[in-house]
Structures are given as C-alpha cells and as structure tokens.
Structure 1
Amino acid sequence: ASAVGIAGRFLKPATESTESVIATMQQFMDELRIACFGMGVASVQHLDQQLLWDGSHAS
C-alpha cells in the first residue's frame, strides 16, 4: 500500500514512453538518496525505523 502513494508520479510519463518512465524513476531514486543522506539514514530499508517527524516539538 505504501507504493500506491507515488503511483501518480509515473502515470503521465507512462503515457509518453518507456524512456520517460525510466527518466522519472531515475529522478525519484536520486531524490530518495538525497533525502536519506540528509536524514542520516543508511538505506531505504531503514526509513521505517527512523523517526521522521511527529509534530511534538512544533511551536
């Protein structure tokens, strides 16, 4: 179910071409790597174990 949330990102490229889908997937993977690096998470598998934000420190 967690993969369903990103499906919309690939719908338009899927109507264009295989190359467009591949380019979109590459961009998504690059963004995910950058996000993991910024949060100090070693890999995508560790994201579920990482506290991202719970709002308890919001002002």
Structure 2
Amino acid sequence: MGSKGSKKGPPTELTPKRGKADTYCQLAFSMFDANHDGVIDFNEYLLAVAATSQG
C-alpha cells in the first residue's frame, strides 16, 4: 500500500511523455480558437469538427 502522498495512476513507463501531449493540446487548441479569446465557441467548434471529419 502507498502512503497518503503516494502517486496514484498507471506506472509512468506506460504513460506518454506529458510535455509532448501538453504541447500538442496547446497547438490544437490555438488552431481551433480562431479569435484567441481562450474559449472555443460554437462556431469554432463546428469548424473544428468539419476540418477533422472525413467525408
């Protein structure tokens, strides 16, 4: 059993490197947040769905 302060979750060797995921998420968010207000509004969401959908 772990102590109160011990880390919970999957072993670190099974999880992706966090820095790369954070960088990717920031890049994707900034691409979809067209007016850069920190919020993806409905129109930006629809454009993101259309841009990433096949068909």
What's the TM-score bracket when you normalise by the shorter of the two chains? 0.3 to 0.5
Q: Which of 1 and 2 has greater Rg?
A: 2
TM-score of the aligned structures, taking structure 1 as reference length = 0.33
Q: Structure with the greater relative contact order (CA < 8 A, sep ≥ 6): 1 or 2? A: 2
Higher helix share: 1
